[in-house]
């Protein structure tokens, strides 16, 4: 069996590889670097996000993947930080109607309000709201299939919501707030040093 010339040497692949290498070198020369995730500043976390929900399970998996040293605890008293879900709901509203009064489009919205505090109750992230909105066309003839499509879209929106939440938790804002909290806690426990007595008394 003999190999064709194209199988041995493909000029287009060489050109693409050369361009990719040149682009990589150019980005490196400009000091460009992809944003990488880093470990959370705390090692134990309590959250009231339901573990048996699809959102809660995905959140835990992603946090553990980004911070292998992280451990979830079942009680706030055991945690260095608490991720508290204040609101998490879905909404579906009619966006437009056709001349016959049938829904043409729906608007799907997902809302998550949360806060992050340390073990002293200090806010590492003030109450924050994340929202995701998607539009979806309606087809009255296939209502069952449309409901499946809506449920699938909501699941995709929750995955995006997890990614956005992880970015907030991994932000420099949280890192710096936790470091300040720990520094204040350390200062509170420093021994009080009395000034030396004067060698001369009056």
Q: HEC states along 95-142? A: EEECCCCCEEEEEEEEEEEEEEEECCCCEEEEEEEEEEEEEEECCHHH
The pTM of the full predicted model, rounded to 2 decimals, is: 0.70
Domain ranges of the chain: 44-186
pLDDT of residue 36: 47
pLDDT of residue 38: 62
pLDDT of residue 194: 54
pLDDT of residue 21: 55
Average confidence (pLDDT) per 10 residues, the chain, 202 residues: 48 54 49 53 96 94 94 96 97 84 88 96 96 88 80 94 96 94 67 50 40
Both tokens of residue 73? 């605890």
- HSE-CB for 31 with a 13 A CA cutoff: 0
Contact between 43 and 80 under an 8 Å Cβ cutoff? The reply is yes
Which residue, chain included where needed, has tokens 């995709």? 156
- As a CATH number, domain 44-186 is 3.30.160.150
Using CA atoms, how far residue 45 sits from 52, 56, 68, 70, 72, in Å, is 17, 13, 13, 7, 5
């Amino acid at each position: 069996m003999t190999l064709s010339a194209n199988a041995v040497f493909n000029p287009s692949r060489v050109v693409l590889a050369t361009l990719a290498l040149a682009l990589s070198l150019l980005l490196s020369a400009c000091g460009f670097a992809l944003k990488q995730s880093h470990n959370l500043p705390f090692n134990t976390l309590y959250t009231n996000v339901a573990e048996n929900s699809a959102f809660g399970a995905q959140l835990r998996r992603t946090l553990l993947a980004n911070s292998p040293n992280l451990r979830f605890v079942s009680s706030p008293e055991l945690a260095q930080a608490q991720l508290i879900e204040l609101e998490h709901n879905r909404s579906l509203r009619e966006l437009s109607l056709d001349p016959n009064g049938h829904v043409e489009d729906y608007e799907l919205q997902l809302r998550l309000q949360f806060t992050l505090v340390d073990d002293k109750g200090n806010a590492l992230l003030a109450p924050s709201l994340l929202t995701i909105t998607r539009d979806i066309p309606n087809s009255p003839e296939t209502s069952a299939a449309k409901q499946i499509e809506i449920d699938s879209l909501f699941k995709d929106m929750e995955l995006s919501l997890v990614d956005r939440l992880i970015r907030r938790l991994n932000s420099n804002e949280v890192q710096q707030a936790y470091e300040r909290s720990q520094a204040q806690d350390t200062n509170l426990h420093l021994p009080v040093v009395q000034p030396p007595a004067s060698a001369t008394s009056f």
